[in-house]
A and B are shown apart, each in its own frame.
Chain A
Amino acid sequence: MTEMPVDRPDVIPPSRLRRAWDSDFAWSFRHSPVAMVSAFFTALLVLSAVFAPLLATTNPYDPASLNLMNGFTAPGTPNAFTGESFLMGTDDQGRDVFSTILYGMRISLFVGFAAVLLAMLIGVTLGLVAGYRGGWVETLIMRTADVQLTFPAILVAMLIFGIAKGVTPVEYRDQMAIWVLILAIGLSDWVQFARVVRGATLVERKKEYVQAAQLIGRSGFAITFRHILPNVLSPVLVIATISLALAIIAEATLSFLGVGAPPTQPSLGTLIRIGQGFLFSGEWWILFFPAVTLLVLALSVNLLGDWLRDALNPRMR
């Protein structure tokens, strides 16, 4: 719209940082309070998860450090037996809820990120291949995707969980649980990536830069991954953000169904599962703090995804 009829004289390019700060993307961020607030909370939570060992008052994963008599201490009030006091109280095992949340968030975020990465890897690859190759390959991939999409994610996850539990040697099950969670969520979540990437690839494939690459005999592999892939990443980024929130929730749900992280190394979801058992018994803090953390985390990530969707869609501006 603002194209000049005559080529503009070149200006000296400003520094990379300056340009990034100046870009429409950054500008839209700086002018969206919601985006900034949610980015703040996301960063805060992610950082506190990463630095959990420094921030946490105890290591809830070290059984030797726990004192069962500290169990069910209310937030801020000293325990009747031990006299110890905890910011967010303790759970049934006498674990400090605050520390457990920090460590639990680590697991939730790790599972979330890894699962999304896995889903992205599978989905983007299959989507690219389907979109670029077309033909029966596309039919096969997309039909599988359809069935997968209609096949409830929880069922898929439970199925994978069941199989993995069966084939894993017993002694590795505890460590495996987290990887199985990642696999389960990742495998049930790839479809939307594949669909979006395929759609975008179909559009990109017809563009002339692809033909320019074909003209010089670049391989299909190089064209899909070097040329097309970078151009289909914006919607992928949006989906990845939303998926991250979904994966964290999915992890919680799977934990609720009893196929999640082990209680000795609780994730946020496991904490909520444990905590919901104390909803009627008056120990509200065991449920409340993890639930609020999960809500804030998922909400921030979702809001960030919302903003990204708008900011990355050029027509939305």
Chain B
Amino acid sequence: MQRFLTASAMSLTLASAAGAAPFSWAGTTDPQTMDPHAVNSAPVLGFLNNVYEGLVRRGKDMAIEPALATSWEPIQSDGGGWRFTLRRGVTFHGGEDFTAEDVVFSYERAASPEADTASWFAGVTDVIAVNDYTVDILTAAPNPIFPDSIANWMIMDAGWAAANGAERPAKDAENFATLNANGTAAFQLSERQPGLKTVLTPFDGWWGEAEHNITTATFTPIQNPATAVAALLSGDVDMINPVPIQDAARLDGRDGVEVIRGIEARVIMLGMAQGADLLKYGANEGDANPFTNVKVRQAVAHAVNVPAILQTIMRGSAEPASQLVSPAMRGYVPALSARPEYDPAKARDLLRSAGYPDGFGFGLKCPNDRYLNDEAVCQAVVSMLAQVGLDAELDAMPVRNYWPELREDNFDMYLLGWSPGTFDHEHPIRFLLATPNPEKKLGSWNFGDYSNARIDTLLPLIQSEVDDSKRQALMTEAVGIYQSEQAYVPLYVQPLVWGARDNITLTQRPDNFFILRWVTVK
């Protein structure tokens, strides 16, 4: 928590609105649609946060703060729910007034089967407009973190959507909302060329007070990181995200540019097959699966020299991780922040006592275009494991092949990065640790089939516990279990590295969202 607070505090002090100026920035991927409910992906949601707003939003410190709702409170009823009081006097970019009707419509739209965001509303039973400026959202069970989970649920004008035939998001057909937007946020969409360029201009009718001094903001997707760096250096763009980690140090030394570092919410970890009986790859293909043995998993944890990875491949930009979430997340357990130290001798001892004195061979799957330097990290892991006798056969592939491969259980060990959408520790427990159960939508990313009955019992308790300290106690127990069982080997928290011209002041948020209203150009 403290880390990014200092970063943003520093940038705040620099902010001083002096004259207005155009601004341009580049990112790796183009937001594929302007429809806030069609796709649940970071590039889209991050971009659209500048155009649309939700009932709540996250501040510079990631804390939930009022947006289109001015206040909210839990409803004491059978199941549970929250009452939101809406902000008055808000208008959409098209001039329409914002009312409870728009919230209900946006719920129906975002929770429809066509929407990608439907899972956010899994526990929601109904959304009721009590009056024009009060909305009740009813849930099946009490959900203490519900307001946190809807920060990216954006409100669209009901009338505008109906008039343009965009009542539902469209995936397999073009839709008016794919190329156009009508939100309430500080910026409005003025030009959209998919894959080429998207231009935003400040919305004069915004309810909030403008902190930025941008006249127009132009986004260009630049896929090749080297090209993006070149564009920043040559002044063709004012800001890029991300800066390749290896270029950060060099960029620091350049006149005219500045590197902004932070840590992301994403934890990079190694997963291991624990439900499989046999090894699937490598020299010992077909032999009994050693990863079912906790000592072997611990050996792996001790064999990987995380400080070395951070020192070289990550250039000192990242922090080691001990849990499945970063310290900035809700539910992080500071008491359990120690991670297994690098100790090859201990790793060999553990292997020996597990019955593998000479180690064994197996397969490691790795994406090569998903996480920062993912392939290099895997390679380094391979050479470190080799030094304790674990002979990993590396198969690195593009992410488009990677997920299908993991889903088919084609791995012995794999690399995974996890960023909790709710910024809460509950999220990875639900997705990565719960025993897989498709009906209950549990453990859907638990490819290694880790299973622990206590964890499965703890999860619903955590989900419904409203009292913070009780919740934290439950969480501490869960962390203790998965750490001692070495369910995963958390490696490090992925760094966030942005680059900007030095006349730009901005705020870097750990969810890697780039919020334009915090940008000033000198």
**Min C-beta distance of A107 to chain B, whole Å:** 16
Contact of A94 with B387 at beta-carbon distance under 8 Å, contacts A171-B363, A262-B396, A283-B246 already known: no
Interface size of A in residues (CB-CB distance below 8 Å): 30
Q: Is the interface of A mostly helix, strand, loop or mixed?
A: loop
Pick the contact of A258: B313, B382, B383, B398 (CB < 8 A).
B398
Judge if A93 is at the interface, Cβ distance under 8 Å: yes
Which one of A60-68, A126-134, A189-197, A302-310 is at the B interface?
Answer: A60-68
Pick the contact of B308: A68, A170, A171, A258 (CB < 8 A).
A68
Q: What residues on B are CB-neighbors of A258 within 8 Å?
A: 368-369, 398
A68/B384 in contact, CB under 8 A: yes
Contact of A174 with B387 at beta-carbon distance under 8 Å, contacts A68-B309, A283-B246 already known: no
Residue of A174, A263, A281 with most chain B CB atoms under a 10 A cut-off: A281
The distance in angstroms between the C-alpha atoms of A165 and B395, with both chains bound, is 12
The distance in angstroms between the C-alpha atoms of A265 and B376, with both chains bound, is 13
Q: How large is the interface on B (under 10, 10 to 19, 20 to 34, 35 or more residues)?
A: 35 or more
Smallest CB gap from A70: residue in B:
B312
Which one of A39-47, A97-105, A226-234, A271-279 is at the B interface?
Answer: A271-279
**Min C-beta distance of B364 to chain A, whole Å:** 10
Judge if A14 is at the interface, Cβ distance under 8 Å: no
Judge if A264 is at the interface, Cβ distance under 8 Å: yes
Judge if A280 is at the interface, Cβ distance under 8 Å: yes
A68/B230 in contact, CB under 8 A: no
Contact of A263 with B396 at beta-carbon distance under 8 Å, contacts A281-B247, A282-B249 already known: yes
B383/A64 in contact, CB under 8 A: yes
**Min C-beta distance of A58 to chain B, whole Å:** 12
Residue of B282, B308, B373, B385 with most chain A CB atoms under a 10 A cut-off: B308
The distance in angstroms between the C-alpha atoms of A94 and B246, with both chains bound, is 14
Q: What residues on B are CB-neighbors of A276 within 8 Å?
A: 226
Judge if B433 is at the interface, Cβ distance under 8 Å: no
Smallest CB gap from A286: residue in B:
B246
The distance in angstroms between the C-alpha atoms of A92 and B313, with both chains bound, is 6
Q: What residues on A are CB-neighbors of B380 within 8 Å?
A: 68, 93
Contact of A69 with B233 at beta-carbon distance under 8 Å, contacts A63-B383, A173-B395, A280-B251 already known: no
Q: What residues on A are CB-neighbors of B153 within 8 Å?
A: none
Closest 9 pairs between A and B when the two form their complex, measured CB to CB:
A64-B386, A71-B312, A63-B383, A281-B246, A66-B383, A63-B386, A68-B308, A281-B247, A280-B247
What 6 additional pairs, Cβ within 8 angstroms, besides A71-B312, A93-B379, A282-B249?
Answer: A62-B386, A68-B313, A92-B246, A92-B312, A262-B396, A277-B225
Q: Which residues of A pack against B, CB within 8 Å?
A: 62-66, 68-69, 71-72, 81, 92-94, 165, 170-171, 173-174, 258, 262-264, 276-283
